[in-house]
Structure 1
Amino acid sequence: MLILQHPSEQKQALATVPILQRCVEPCEVWVGEDFSQNPRLTDLLKNPQSLRVVFPSSGATDWYCDQPDTSVSNHVSTVILIDGTWNKAKKIWHMNPWLHSLPAVHLKNFPATEYRIRQSSVEGSLSTLEAAMHSLNWLTGSARFDDLAKPFEAMIDMQIQKMGKEIFDAHYCKEDD
């Protein structure tokens, strides 16, 4: 797994990449916005068909939650995730045209995010950890990576407890129309 992380995400107290780094092997993290000068890029791009970028680009292949394809996993050795807010992820996508030449995937019909303490205006948004978990499960045709959610959920629950229910409800709970 390769994570392209926007520099501002390194400072986030509630980031999910540190969990992935401790739980998924191999997990490499490149921090920045433009990765075209990364010395590992040439090696990475030697076999582009073995890579999948999780990003909902116009040419992305849909990976549906209930339709895993383990035949794809025989060819995929690296899943690339972009870690940042949607605006920052789009910036990384646009600043790295080499990403556009790689097979991209869009995660479809997966469970809604459990990242209740960070919000996104983009429907279907997932945390980097959730995108990793769902991608790896899809590739293996199993629930083998579901345990990644445990430390993630514990981190969220601890933060909600720390801020208090009233503050959480006021800032993060959406009222029904």
Structure 2
Amino acid sequence: MTPSASRRATCAACLRARSACICGFAAPLASRVELLVLQHPLEVHHAKNSARLLHLSLPSSRLLVGEAFAAAELDAALNADGRRPLLLYPHTPGEAALGLPAPPPLDPAGLAQPEALRLVLLDATWRKSRKMLYLNPALQCLPRLALQELPPSAYRIRKAHAPDQLSSLEAAVHALSRLENRPEHYTSLLDGFDRFVEQQSRLFRA
């Protein structure tokens, strides 16, 4: 294989060029809350996207790619094994004007058993995530978990409109840490993310 062909070869696990493989940054961890990532198709091959690293780091997680999912497929993914799905998404103004119903209230008592929860993460830009929510009524019916009092993001390779706008990986880590009440458990995942960010910074500087 020629050097140029080697650079173009793709890793089957992370879907990136072998020369930019991120599998070495993944530190597999067990999570009590199961993670379901719904990834917009435009994010799949985006070099700065962190959801693939997140998925590789949580072996029990599931990642589905799409914008408008078949109702039966999405229902099965949300409710598999009897877990209670919870959407990681903020309450935002203007949803009623879009015809979106108010989400059901989040029952704090339902958070007492992390092993019975499924955290649903929309991996997309803000605009695309709103469209995914609009196109999939089953997501509109989920109680929401909104993150608050967040630290600044380390995601310096992608533009954010506020310091606390996190990458998909960071948002998932903070949500899982709070739901499971064990923040130190996910330290290695954030360490891997820092290495991923540094790699991408070098590649974009090259």
**Mapped pair 1:147 → 2:147:** no
| Residue among 91, 95, 100 paired with 1:57 | 91
| Residue among 113, 116, 127 paired with 2:156 | 116
User: Partner letter of residue 182 of structure 2?
Assistant: S
- The alignment's TM-score, normalised by the length of structure 2, stands at 0.67
- What residue is the counterpart of 1:106 in the other structure? 146
CA shift for structure 1 position 25: 3.0
| Residue among 39, 47, 54 paired with 1:13 | 47
Structure 1 residues 106 and 136, CA, compared in 2 at 3 Å: closer, same or farther? same
The percent of aligned pairs where both chains have the same amino acid is: 27
| Residue among 162, 167, 170 paired with 2:203 | 162
Q: Structure 2: state its 5+ residue gaps.
A: 1-34, 93-101
Deviates more, 1:81-90 or 1:15-24: 15-24
* CA RMSD between the two structures: 2.8
Structure 1 residues 13 and 43, CA, compared in 2 at 3 Å: closer, same or farther? closer
Deviates more, 1:38-47 or 1:139-148: 38-47
Provide the C-alpha distance between the structure 1 equivalents of 2:56 and 2:109, rounded to a whole number of angstroms: 25
CA shift for structure 1 position 119: 1.0
Q: Structure 1: state its 5+ residue gaps.
A: 63-68, 168-177
**SS state of the match for residue 122, structure 2?**
strand
**SS state of the match for residue 147, structure 2?**
strand
Provide the C-alpha distance between the structure 1 equivalents of 2:160 and 2:132, rounded to a whole number of angstroms: 17
CA contact (8 A) 1:3 1:30 kept: yes
Provide the C-alpha distance between the structure 1 equivalents of 2:204 and 2:54, rounded to a whole number of angstroms: 25
Aligned residues between the structures = 159
CA shift for structure 1 position 71: 7.1
- What residue is the counterpart of 2:15 in the other structure? none
Provide the C-alpha distance between the structure 2 equivalents of 1:96 and 1:122, rounded to a whole number of angstroms: 27
Provide the C-alpha distance between the structure 2 equivalents of 1:121 and 1:43, rounded to a whole number of angstroms: 32
- What residue is the counterpart of 2:56 in the other structure? 22
Provide the C-alpha distance between the structure 1 equivalents of 2:80 and 2:197, rounded to a whole number of angstroms: 39
Provide the C-alpha distance between the structure 2 equivalents of 1:158 and 1:36, rounded to a whole number of angstroms: 36
